[in-house]
Amino acid sequence: MLRPFATLAVMTLAACAPSGLTQKGGTLSPQTTRATIATAGHALPAPQRFSGAPVDRLPVQPNGQLARDFMALTFQLETGRQIDTFTRFEGPITVALENASGEPLPPTLQPDLTDLLDRLRSEAKIDIRPAAAGKMGSITISALPRDTLQRVVPGAACFVVPRVAGWTDYLRKRFGPDTDWTTLKTRTRATVFLPTDVSPQEIRDCLHEEVAQALGPLNDLYRLPHSVFNDDNMHVVLTSFDMMILRATYDAGLTSGMTQQQVAARLPAILANVNPRGRLADGGAIDDGNPAWANSIRGALRPTGSAHARLTHAKNAVTLAQSQGWTDERLAFSHLALGRAALSSDSDVAIAAFLQSQAVYERLPGTAIHAAQVALQLGAFALTSGQVEAALGILDGAIPAARDAQNASLLATLLLLRAEAAALQGAPDEAARIRREGLAWGRYAWGDRSLGIRAAQVASLRPGA
């Protein structure tokens, strides 16, 4: 299982390169650096980081649908291959941290891992703890430079592999049957591989998704709006939905080696305990989707594709979603993808698509973080056009959702936009305060090396900048 590189949605803010940035080889090359930010006012604020559970305010999941979600997540890989046998770790689980490169580990890695293990114990009721010093873990977290990882698995931001204990063991076994999830009868070893030279948020996001997949579900489903097991990357840390899935996975009523039929028979009683409020009328199965739509969405979000190709894929995704009769988050996400793809060529199409996406998300329960992604784009447009009051209303509505969902990248961008709006409003002290908060979250979201680029991109959106 691997987490692919996703487009950096929160920085797709304007149709053209911001002032202060130059085009170089198809990417933005900064003329503003961290030093520029630090010396323009005061020293950079201390970085912020989240801890504890996100505030996700998700709707109650009917247990009938939750059972179908559990089966689809558990008995199928992202590639579509079926898994015949239920597997999990049996007994206490230990987690070891491997510094595979010998370079200093990022200072946020250990605290973020500790927080994750705390949540898995308290919310998913899993017996999981750090391995004793010098001892091999049931799960190994192997940290390496990104280039090293991608030489072996091109395009992967991070990934998890069964039956291996660390980097050297993986290199020895990677072409053999041991790394095939479909051949497991129980889980005894797994290694999560993640990069060390990316931002703290990227490392944390990898930890959450890949450790969760090492423990349980191996699939991603676009139809799940409230989960990290979804390639839309709206949720970046494990949600209460994900914790219910993991808690059911480690319920005493299940054990490794069970068939799909045996698991399905046990789920009603298990979910009645895990999700007691979910004893609701079953609305029927949700359409799993059209593979052509998923391919179009991937094409619309592919960072290596041309702008024309992304736009074509995004338009096709909207058409396919509408033809399927979808009115859920997949339709909203299609419009959002179209808006992002159209930014560089047709701002009218982009704005219309964002408004369509916003309208769908606003009528769906539990999609505040999704709507905040759209609000980012609309707030940026309002700021650029000098509509300060409109920008303030949009941004102030989105900032709490980004904070609740523990998305530092989205939160930092919204705060920096909010600071520019405050400056336009003639409130320099408030603007400085909000900007410093945005920079503090930006240090966690993007890392200090990229902070200047991000802040310059946002600052350039203010009229007259």
pLDDT at 465: 65
- Tokens for 194, please give them: 């993640």
Scan for tokens 């523990």, then name that residue: 406
pLDDT for the residue 402: 98
> Helix axis angle, 347-362 relative to 368-384, nearest 10°?
150
Which residues, 6+ apart, have CB-to-CB distance to 248 below 8 Å?
Answer: 70, 254, 267, 270, 271, 274
Beta-carbon contacts of residue 350 (< 8 Å; ≥ 6 apart): 15, 338, 339, 340, 342, 343, 377
Mean pLDDT in consecutive groups of 10 residues from the start of the chain, 465 residues: 42 33 28 37 85 94 96 93 96 96 92 98 98 95 95 91 96 94 96 96 97 96 95 95 98 98 98 95 82 95 90 98 95 97 94 97 96 97 95 97 98 98 96 98 96 94 81
Integer Cα distance of 109 and 115 in angstroms = 10
Largest interatomic CA distance in the chain? 66
Q: How far, in Å, CA of 225 to CA of 235, rounded?
A: 8
Amino acid identity, position 160:
V
- At 107, list the tokens: 């200072």
SS3 content of the chain, % helix, strand, coil (to 5): 50, 10, 40
Residues 451, 447: Cα–Cα separation, whole Å: 6
Question: In the chain, what are the domains?
Answer: 2-49+287-459 (1.25.40.10), 63-278 (3.40.390.10)
Considering only CA atoms, which of 438, 434, 408, 412 is closest in space to residue 422?
A: 434
Helices (H), 91-216: 109-122, 146-152, 167-173, 200-215
Query: What confidence score (pLDDT) does residue 241 get?
Result: 97
Instruction: Report which DSSP code applies to 209.
Output: H
pLDDT attached to residue 30: 30
Kindly state the tokens that stand for 237.
Answer: 């840390």
Rounded to 5 degrees, φ, ψ at 241 are -60, -50
The conformation of residue 18, written as its DSSP 8-state character, comes to P
Residue pair 5/205 in contact by the 8 Å Cβ criterion: no
Q: What are phi and psi of 114, to 5 degrees?
A: -60, -45
pLDDT for res 74:
97
Parallel, antiparallel or unpaired: strands 139-144 and 27-30: unpaired
- What pLDDT does 397 receive? 97
